[in-house]
Amino acid sequence: MLSMQPIGYVRSPYRNTQEIPKGLGAKHEAEGSLEIRSELEPGLTDIEGFSHLFVIWAFDRSEGCKLVGTPPTDDRPHGVFATRSPRRPNPIGLTVVELLCREGPVLRVRGIDMLEGTPILDIKPYLSNVPRERLRRGWLAEAEARNGERP
Amino acid sequence: MLSMQPIGYVRSPYRNTQEIPKGLGAKHEAEGSLEIRSELEPGLTDIEGFSHLFVIWAFDRSEGCKLVGTPPTDDRPHGVFATRSPRRPNPIGLTVVELLCREGPVLRVRGIDMLEGTPILDIKPYLSNVPRERLRRGWLAEAEARNGERP
């Protein structure tokens, strides 16, 4: 058993999950902020140099766990570890955001898909991409193909 | 306060942190396994279609938190949220691995940089890259430039 405390909270335009774009081709262009606890501000030193960050956060309003479910991007069920479903064994979310600027302990970012007030557990620099020619996207690519979408 | 339980454990060739490649240009090509708890196996349904996975795990052998420190990839100090340091406010690790194959509840993967027995908290599909032309890598790119390394 591991216990964690929020390092800060998300300021988001989304107040409920229905407002968050979902499904194939959904764009996450929303801007918002990551408000880090002021005593942790030294931990943000030099973060401005990175264009993109991993944000690890908690699904604090999801309930229970569903091992197999149908995501909004498909009409077929998949395992929870093959999706971004909120109903996970550990309610951890992961989002890549673009860092726009920093104001003290507050990071202004683009690409928010979390709800207002979401607890942040960690932030890490996004360092490198997977080589494009080696990336396969499983059921998501198949669902896009069936719908005539391009990745 | 959030409480989490491991969904499984890493089988790694590394028994202590000194064995893990670190520093500029370090390659993470080690193969190992993600052994998921058997009762969670349905959650892996369709994961085979993805070439790469995010593994979220716990630094269960790191001690304490250091908000500013010098990483093995540089000779200058940086904030913990701008590095992959294990000494984080919440001891969460994040690794992108290549999925080689699945045998029931066991995922054979390449790119392990965790120690043997590391608790796994979550697994998610790696869905897309950040556009290369928009990726900036801050102090890491500067340290590479000083050392004549290429990304």
Q: What is the pLDDT of residues B48-105, one digit of tens each?
A: 999 999 999 999 998 889 999 999 888 899 999 999 999 999 999 999 999 999 999 9
Is the CB of B122 less than 8 angstroms away from the CB of A151?
Answer: no
Tokens of A125: 């620099």
Q: Does residue A71 belong to any structural domain of this protein?
A: yes
Q: Cβ of B131: how many Cβ atoms within 10 Å?
A: 10
Instruction: Tell whether B129 is within 8 A of chain A (Cβ).
Output: yes
Q: Does residue A127 belong to any structural domain of this protein?
A: yes
Task: For residue B103, report the phi and psi dihedrals to the nearest 5 degrees.
Answer: -125, 95
CATH number of the domain enclosing B133: 2.40.30.70
B138, containing H or E segment: helix B138-146
Residue B131: is its pLDDT beyond 90? no
ipTM: 0.94
Is the CB of B94 less than 8 angstroms away from the CB of A139?
Answer: no
Instruction: Give CA–CA dist A17/A138, Å, rounded.
Output: 25
- Residue B27: the pLDDT is 80
Instruction: Give CA–CA dist A112/B107, Å, rounded.
Output: 30
Instruction: Give CA–CA dist B102/B109, Å, rounded.
Output: 9
CB B35 within 8 A of CB B11: yes
Provide the pLDDT confidence category of residue B125 given band limits of 50, 70 and 90. Answer: very high
Closest residue on chain A to B124 (Cα):
A81
Q: Does residue B3 belong to any structural domain of this protein?
A: no
Q: Does residue B1 belong to any structural domain of this protein?
A: no
Q: Which residues of B touch A52 (CB under 8 A)?
A: 130, 134-136
- Residue B15: the pLDDT is 96
Domains identified in chain B, total number: 1
Q: Does residue A124 belong to any structural domain of this protein?
A: yes
* Spans in chain A with pLDDT lower than 50: none
Q: How would you class A123 by CB atoms within 10 Å of its CB: exposed for 0-12, middle for 13-18, buried for 19 or more?
A: buried
Q: Which domain holds residue A63?
A: 8-146
Tokens 């971004």 correspond to what residue?
A84
Instruction: Give CA–CA dist B150/A11, Å, rounded.
Output: 37
Stretch 47-86 of chain B: residues touching chain A, C-beta under 8 Å? 47-52, 54, 56, 58, 60, 67-68, 77-84
- Residue A49: the pLDDT is 95
Q: What is the CA radius of gyration of chain B?
A: 16
Is the CB of A135 less than 8 angstroms away from the CB of B79?
Answer: no
Q: Does residue A136 belong to any structural domain of this protein?
A: yes
Instruction: Assign A44 to helix, strand or coil.
Output: helix
- Residue A150: the pLDDT is 56
Q: Does residue A1 belong to any structural domain of this protein?
A: no
Is the CB of B119 less than 8 angstroms away from the CB of A2?
Answer: yes
Instruction: Give CA–CA dist B146/B140, Å, rounded.
Output: 10
Q: Does residue A133 belong to any structural domain of this protein?
A: yes
Q: Model confidence over B2-40: pLDDT tens digits?
A: 889 999 999 999 999 989 988 777 788 999 999 999 999
